[in-house]
Structures are given as C-alpha cells and as structure tokens.
Chains A and B, each alone.
Chain A
C-alpha cells in the first residue's frame, strides 16, 4: 500500500462498529472518509488497515491476508465474509462500506467477537480421527475415491462466517452445533480411516445438535471457501434417519 501516494485516489465512506468495554459507552458506528486507489480494486481488509492508520484504536483480527487462516471474518455491508479476500468492488454499495462484527457472538471489542462458544461446539464433535486400523508403521491405506470424499469438507478454516450467519445458531448456540462444527463432524464420518461413525452419530441424535438446522442455507451463501455445510448436514440427517428405521 506504500505506493498509494503516487496513485490516483478517491474517497470511500467507511463506517465501522465501535465498542470498547473499558469505556462505559454504548456501541456506535464510527464513520470516516478514507483515500483509496482509484484504479486498483483493494480488499476490505486493506481499507480497514487504511482506517486504522487514521485511527489506531480500531481493533480487528487479521493474519494471513489471503483467505486461509480465518481470522478476519466480519459482517461486510450486511453479509458475512473474510475482509482479506473480499474486494471493494464486490462489497461496496453506493460508495459506502459498513463493517460490523460477526453477528450472534458476544463482542469483545470493535470487530472482535468472542469465539469461545464456536470453538466449544467444534470440540464437541471430537474433531480428530478415531481409528484402530493397522498401520505397520506406515500410512493407513486410502483409495483415491475415498480420499475424494473429504474434498469440500477438510478445507474449513474455522472463520465462523457460516455459524454466525445461521438463525438456528443465534437461537441455540449452546445446543445446536452450527454448520461449521457439523461440516467437521461429517468430515470425520466420511473418512474411510475413521471407525467411530456409530459413536459420532449417537452424539448427534438429539433434537438440537443437528436437527435445529432448517435448511435456511445462509451458511452456503456466505462460506468464503465455497463449502457446503448444508449438504453435509443433510447427509448426517439421512444417516440418522436410516439408522432409526
């Protein structure tokens, strides 16, 4: 961004959700004008960094800046996404950019939410391989076809965009596991090396864990990695139905 000074600039109106628990003030939207390059399509995260150069107190998480670490999930003009791979051309409407924290989770400060509940739900599904397959000190064999079944599942970056876009998760964040955790549940169920399918399904059988999903599909429309948690949830539901009859 150093070369911006030499480039043609234009002004963007950016409005950022601000909340600092240290100050007794209610949350508010802070508006500011930032200079962005005229002919280059920068990312929402770049715009946010420019805002932070004007006001260093603005707080947000960021790390890889290329859409693989999952740090900067936020609500961008009303839709959850990753700041670092959402270009302004896609996000800005009427020269305005409104940034809010992911909805449905407690706000720690500004755009930073408390992810504890989200991670707790992830931990509940036993997100690790359970296996008793013979290894002989080598890999557990897996066919190309069986490995292909993990595509679209293992790539989750745990950004939280899906679960925090889900009304069922807003309503029952402690009981409904949410799309992100369920996608991972199905990732392990689908793994030919995993032997705990029945045990995993047992844990998902209650009225809330899976069945609070009503196919609203927000998870699919916001996933920055193009994954489909809804499909995974339906597969789990099918397996549970099949077991029941």
Chain B
C-alpha cells in the first residue's frame, strides 16, 4: 500500500527487466513484439489494457507503396509526397527509411492476420488519401492507403495484441508510469510506475526504456483524441531535462464531427466525398484546384476555417462545414465506411447516406515530440547545439519526433510511422544487448529526486482539483493556439499558461485512497498536459513564420532562410533553439524545398 504514502528510494520495491516499453498502442506493441521474439526479459507497461490504446481509433488506413492499386507505385513517390507534406522540415533520412521499409512491414502485418479489405485480385485494398501523388507530383492522384474498411487502427492494434499473446509478451497492464529515472551520467535506468489496481509503486529498472506513450491532443478543448492522450512520455522527458522538438506543429484534422470532436476519416474524401459550404459550393476547388478535397490536411483545415470566418459556414451559427457522402450510395458506405456511418448516427444524429456530416477542423495529431534518430534512440541537444544520444532511452510513435511528419503529417502515415519505428527501436535494443549495454546504477538520491513529483501530489493538503485546472488549460490552448495564430493571442495565451502553472503548484488530490484511484492518475496526467501545452505555446510564439500546420497572421510566409529548422525546447530554460533538418537520405537525392501547392 505504498502508493498513497510518501515514497522513498530505500523502501521502493524494484522490478528488473532487460527492456521496458511504456505504452501499449501500435508502436509499443510493435517494439514489444520484437523484444519478446528475441527472448529478452521485457515488459510492456500500459496505463490501459493494450487494446484500449488510441491506435484503435485510427480509421482510414496505413499509407505504403505496396503497389497493389498501381503496380508501378514506388516508395520514392511516397517519400516525395511525405517530404512535400512536411513542408520540408521532415528529416529525409527518416522519411526514406519509413517509406522504403514500409511495404515489408505492411505485408508482415497482413501475414500476422490483419483483415485488410481486398481488391478483386485478392490483394490488399488501397484507397486515395490527401497529399498523395504518382511520379513525384506529376502523375496525378495516387491510391496508396492500405485499409481494413474504415477500422484499420482497430484491426492493426488487435492484430498486434494477438501477435504479442502468441509471442508471450509480458504485460504490466493498467500501470501508470510517472517519471524517468536517470543516473549521475544522465543515462536512463527505467521508470517510476505504479500498478493502478493496487496503488503499489515500483522502480521498474531496465537497460532500455522505450517511450511509446502516444499523443497529447487533450491539451485542446476539442480533439479527436481519446481521453487518455495526455502526453505522459513527453511530460516525463521534459521533467527529466530532455529536449522536445517541433512542439508547435499540431495537426488539425479537417473533419472532426462538429460538437463531439470524433474523427471522420479522410478516407471519406478518398472514396469520393467532398466538403461543401452553406451555399452547397465545393469550395476546395477554389483553394486547391488540382488535389481539391485531397490536398494535405493543413491546407484543407485552413480553407475550411476561412470559409467559416468569411461567413460561409453551415448551421445556425455558421460554425462548421458539411462533408457530403450521400452521392456515394448506401452500398459503398456500408462496405468501405461502415464505422463512419455508425459514428455519424451516434454523434451527429444523421445517416450519411441521406445527409451530409457536420464537420469542423479538430486537433488531431502532434507532429512534434521527443526527438529520435531512425533507430528510435532519443536525442537531446547540448549547449553548443550538437546532438547527443540519451543512453538507455528510446521513443517511437506519436510521442516521438523522428520527424517523418515535419510540419504536417499526411493521412495514413501515422500507422506506418508506428509500426516501422516501433520495430526499428526493438531491433536496435536487441542489437545493443548482443553487444552489451553499459548502464550504471542510479543512486538513492537520483531516485528520490524523481519521486518528488508524485510525492508532491500524494501529500497535497489543500488546493485546487485537477479537473478545473485542466478545463482552463484546454480553453487557453483552443483559443490561442488553434489553426490560425497571432502574436497577440499567443502572448496572452502564454501568460495564462503561466498562471495555470502557478495554480498547478497548488494541485490538490483529495482522494488519497490506494486502489484504482483514477483521481491520482488524472492529477498526474494534468501535470503532463501542462508540460506539453507550455512547450507548444512557447515554440509556437517563437517560430516566426508560417509553415505546415503552423500558420500566423503576422508572419504569413514560409521563411526558409531562418526557419528551415526544427525547433528545440527545454523545460528548464523555457527557451527555443534550432536544430538542422536532415537532408541526407541514403539512397535517393534529397528533395529541395519548393513552393508548396496542391
């Protein structure tokens, strides 16, 4: 019952593993599978039962040049689209690795049992998604997103969970990881975590720790993200004094259901659906004459907001657009988009076969996160601006910023990112183990230092409840750091976040019980949300240009001279520095920046 009391290194029980993976979504399960198959003593630590992870909500598919829809498709074309989509701050070595490794990984998922939809030839079905082209933008719209109806994330996550059952992976299910434990040499030696059911806290000691904790969309009031997406790994990294990268880059998905925030896949537009304004006009034809509704998400989201701002929004408050699908016919909706039909009925009270879906751009995905190389090794920045690998620490998936998405992610690339880099982290850990990993022990002082965070929450005597603080934080982020940003708004927002941080010092956990105390989990989650929100706010204000998802009225143009760079942020100094974007792919020639139009 140590969970509710004051924790101290001297009495904290230890569980030791070769490797631990924090997070049981797509990337965590892929890394876990790799390590379990290698016979290492590993544990996947997840705050929810693995199939409750947010990967389950992914709908439209996994983008990959498997050459099913088009036998001539080429991963280099996929790479070109991804670089362009990133607005040129995606790292080209990582993008090359992902696009090239992708096909083998997708086929492997199919071989594991993933129930992909099929073509008439019995191959994996691929649909069109935004920002996809053939022949380096010259050959028209591509169909490159491999789909299991519109439930691809569910199919993928369950398949990976099943594969992990088969491999005998060890799960610490419903365990909450609080903080990273670093030793005197700043190597990561594991995490402090507690079993939610019993409340017992432990030091989970490992020679390799993977942060696969997913996104943090809950920093915004309106988001497609699950309630559990609270940026726990990012918060841990920031508190450990590590760098985060490109935190200003948040994707607003064009089609969240108005009012509810639930996602409506881009696959709807890939199957032939399109957006209309109050006059019934297919307005994307004006903003993106070639790609129209399948321009990249940042472009479509901004176009929708302009329609709304200029008074052409739909509904009594003219505050949303319509996604029209009825012309596709009930049969196609039933076969290709059954989940969307279900969600529209539940959350918008309409049947998309008869009525367009009310949609609005909604916070969806963090392009930024914990910087890593292609092996998932976490990188931090030294005082002289050079990169340094953090020994013992890996990150993968949405929590990481291996930077395949740069300033804007293409639809279907998140699932590919998860599996390719979850796997690559696993492979690197396996390899490092064979060669021998030298991680020294943490001292009691190291551990006690880290325990301060949870001890403060556990011993809080009075103050404010986490839910009130969280609401205010989400409100500030929604108002000041949305699709369009301005210096005035952002500066006010940063001031408000300062005040919220002060209030968080007085965070009060009234419920001190030990067993399945969800109030404790929510209090700790709030501290992570706050770290992510503050990093987002400060980086957004600092990037003085418009690029990808970051669009500001005072700097409306992209500024390659000064900002063809990653932004790097540390919690301690609250300062932003720059980091070079990788333009050194191994096989192809680097794609140089050009004006981005669709």
- The chain A residues found within 8 Å of chain B, CB to CB, are 2, 20-23, 52-53, 56-57, 59-71, 85, 87, 108-110, 112, 115, 119, 123, 126-129, 131, 135, 137-144, 146-147, 150, 154-155, 157-158, 188, 191, 193-194
Contact = CB atoms under 8 A, between A and B. Distances in A.
A63 B54 contact: yes
Nearest to B164: A128
A-B pairs with the 4 shortest C-beta distances? A129-B113, A141-B122, A128-B162, A109-B516
Given A2-B471, A65-B227, A139-B110, A57 B513 contact: yes
B224 to A, nearest CB: 9
Q: Which of A52, A110, A128, A142 has the most CB of B within 10 A?
A: A128
Contact of A57 (B121, B263, B339, B511): B511
Contacts of A108: 197, 515-516
A139 B124 contact: yes
Nearest to B475: A2
B515 A63 contact: no
A150 B511 CA distance: 45
Contact of B515 (A21, A70, A138): A21
Contacts of A143: 118, 122
A142 B118 contact: yes
Contacts of B347: 66
A85 B346 contact: yes
Contacts of A147: 115-118
Given A68-B57, A127-B162, A112 B513 contact: no
Q: Which of A21, A68, A123, A137 has the most CB of B within 10 A?
A: A68
B398 to A, nearest CB: 15
Nearest to B520: A56
Interface residues of B, number: 62
B83 interface: no
Contacts of A22: 513-515
Contact of B104 (A56, A61, A137, A157): A137
Nearest to A55: B511
Nearest to A110: B516
Contacts of B115: 147, 150, 154, 191
B327 interface: no
Interface in B104-161: 104, 107, 110-113, 115-124, 148, 151, 154-155, 158
Given A66-B347, A128-B162, A191 B467 contact: no
How would you classify the secondary structure of chain A's contact residues: helix, strand, loop or mixed?
loop
Contacts of B110: 139-140
Q: Which of A22, A56, A57, A65 has the most CB of B within 10 A?
A: A56
19 contacts: A2-B221, A22-B513, A22-B515, A56-B465, A56-B519, A63-B228, A66-B263, A68-B57, A69-B51, A109-B516, A128-B162, A128-B163, A141-B121, A141-B122, A142-B118, A143-B122, A154-B158, A157-B56, A158-B51
B52 A66 contact: no
A183 to B, nearest CB: 12
A67 B110 CA distance: 25
A51 to B, nearest CB: 12
Given A119-B49, A138-B66, 5 more contacts: A59-B517, A60-B518, A69-B57, A139-B124, A144-B122
B165 interface: yes
A140 B51 contact: no
Interface in B401-418: none
Given A141-B123, A191-B113, A68 B516 contact: no
A138 B517 CA distance: 47
Nearest to B163: A128
B510 interface: yes
A123 B526 CA distance: 35
B511 to A, nearest CB: 5
A138 B107 contact: yes
B352 to A, nearest CB: 16
B166 A128 contact: yes
Given A128-B165, A135-B107, A59 B518 contact: yes
A22 B512 CA distance: 11
Contacts of B467: 52-53, 56
B48 A112 contact: no
A157 B517 contact: no
A180 to B, nearest CB: 12
B487 interface: no
A171 to B, nearest CB: 25
A52 B522 CA distance: 12
B439 interface: no
A119 B56 CA distance: 18
Contact of B54 (A52, A64, A191): A64
Contacts of B121: 141
Contacts of A63: 48, 52-54, 226-228
A23 B343 CA distance: 40
